[in-house]
């Protein structure tokens, strides 16, 4: 076994057979396997992969239940490999499989750790993106270069190959949130020797793209996390953004409720509204990969409310204590209390509501 090709899938049933056929052709003479990592696609992608795997031992399927996310799927697929080299590519045939042997050769002959397939050097192209998506990709690439100063010409690419030992070293520092596993690996490892391989980005074979606003937001979270040098994790950044939005909702509802109610009941209604919106936004965004549904969502909501109530008490308690000691800087006492509350809510929600640890 020389090469594991990891292929994350979500609703790609009609692409997998064609991809395996093309890999078989492109990788003739190389010992390879294909590891599909499917997030329990409702279209039966996993069943399709397994029916191929039943007669082709080079094909495997990891079916993940109750979890979503491209980067996390890639990480799990790579972790399951025992080949010396792992590649990651999309299932929709937009990534040109015929460059894989060249990438493998570069990895072996040039003594590099990682070969990134790129659309943004001579010989590569992203023309198939069309106007608007092409623009988004170029802007995101430019921002990434500004902010992180990475040497990758196409940091957004989801197509690369690397030595498995280097992956095993860096994996504890990777974030399972988001779409950008290559960028995460490149910025999380020190002294990674990187080569690039141009390729022409094709058009999607069957099905639809999963790119959406949320994917864009997750990317911004990853950038901020990288900017903070890993001090803030992307999840906390989303938790904080959702919290800030909750404050706006709180004040809006309070203003409306005051038309009908006295202050105390109005403030209670506003608090409840903000907690509700925070819970649902966190469930959709911050903890999307561990989204709660059905009864566990109701239970999660109740525990979230309980945690936030205790958070409010710790906030007020700390602020009051600091304020008593130093009345002049009332705002610092208030800020410290609010931060304390936010950290408490985040830590406890991660532990008990969405159980990320």
Residue of the chain from 4, 15, 81, 94 that contacts Mn ion (CB under 5 A): 94
Expressed in angstroms, the distance from the first to the final Cα of the chain is 34
CB 166 within 8 A of CB 89: no
97 binds ligand GDD (CB under 6 A): no
Between 39 and 233, whose beta carbon lies closer to Mn ion? 39
Determine the Cα–Cα distance for residues 9 and 62; give it in Å rounded to an integer: 10
| Element (DSSP H or E) covering residue 85 | strand 85-88
141 binds ligand GDD (CB under 6 A): no
73 binds ligand GDD (CB under 6 A): yes
Residues contacting residue 319 through CB under 8 Å, at least 6 positions apart: 333, 334, 336, 337, 338
Q: Which stretch binds ligand GDD (CB under 6 A): 19-27, 86-94, 291-299, 313-321?
A: 86-94
15 binds Mn ion (CB under 5 A): no
- Beta carbon of residue 219, minimum distance to ligand GDD (angstroms, whole number): 9
203 binds ligand GDD (CB under 6 A): no
Nearest to 20 by CA among 207, 205, 279, 192: 205
10 binds ligand GDD (CB under 6 A): yes
- Beta carbon of residue 39, minimum distance to ligand GDD (angstroms, whole number): 4
- Beta carbon of residue 219, minimum distance to Mn ion (angstroms, whole number): 15
Q: Is the dihedral of CA 80, 83, 85, 91 positive or negative?
A: negative
CB 20 within 8 A of CB 34: yes
Return the residues of window 231-260 that contact ligand GDD according to CB under 6 A. none
Determine the Cα–Cα distance for residues 53 and 237; give it in Å rounded to an integer: 40
Determine the Cα–Cα distance for residues 45 and 88; give it in Å rounded to an integer: 18
Between 94 and 118, whose beta carbon lies closer to Mn ion? 94
Nearest to 189 by CA among 151, 219, 158, 220: 151
137 binds ligand GDD (CB under 6 A): yes
Query: Binding partner of residue 68 among Mn ion, ligand GDD, none, CB under 5 to 8 Å per kind?
Result: ligand GDD
96 binds Mn ion (CB under 5 A): no
Residues near ligand GDD, by CB under 6 A: 8-10, 12, 37-39, 68-70, 73, 90-92, 94, 137, 156, 158, 179, 209-211
């Amino acid at each position: 076994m020389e090469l594991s090709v990891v292929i994350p899938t979500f609703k790609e049933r009609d692409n997998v057979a064609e991809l395996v056929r093309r890999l078989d052709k492109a990788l003739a003479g190389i010992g390879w396997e294909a590891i599909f990592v499917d997030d329990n696609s409702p279209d039966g992608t996993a069943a399709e992969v397994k029916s191929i795997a039943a007669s082709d031992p080079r094909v495997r399927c990891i079916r993940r239940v109750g979890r979503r996310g491209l980067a996390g799927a890639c990480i799990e697929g790579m972790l399951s490999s025992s080949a010396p080299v792992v590649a990651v590519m999309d299932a929709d045939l937009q990534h040109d499989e015929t460059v894989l042997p060249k990438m493998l050769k570069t990895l072996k002959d040039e003594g590099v750790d990682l070969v990134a397939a790129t659309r943004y050097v001579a010989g590569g192209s992203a023309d198939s993106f069309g106007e608007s998506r092409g623009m988004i990709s170029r802007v995101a690439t430019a921002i990434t270069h500004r902010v992180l100063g990475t040497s990758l010409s196409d940091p957004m690419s989801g197509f690369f190959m690397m030595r498995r030992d280097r992956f095993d070293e860096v994996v504890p520092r990777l974030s399972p949130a988001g779409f950008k596993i290559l960028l995460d690996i490149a910025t999380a490892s020190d002294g990674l020797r990187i080569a690039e391989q141009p390729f022409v980005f094709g058009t999607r074979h069957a099905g639809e793209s999963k790119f959406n606003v949320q994917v864009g937001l997750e990317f911004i979270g990853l950038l901020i996390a990288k900017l903070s040098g890993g001090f803030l994790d992307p999840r906390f950044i989303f938790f904080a953004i959702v919290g800030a939005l909750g404050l706006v909702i709180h004040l809006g509802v309070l203003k409306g409720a005051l038309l009908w109610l006295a202050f105390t009941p109005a403030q209670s209604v506003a608090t409840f509204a903000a907690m509700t919106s925070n819970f649902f936004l966190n469930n959709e965004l911050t903890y999307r990969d561990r989204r709660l549904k059905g009864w566990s969502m109701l239970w999660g909501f109740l525990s979230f409310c309980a945690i936030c109530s205790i958070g409010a008490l710790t906030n007020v308690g700390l602020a009051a204590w600091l304020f008593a000691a130093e009345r002049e800087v009332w705002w610092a006492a208030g800020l410290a209390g609010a931060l304390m509350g936010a950290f408490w809510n985040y830590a406890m929600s991660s532990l008990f509501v969405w159980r990320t640890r």
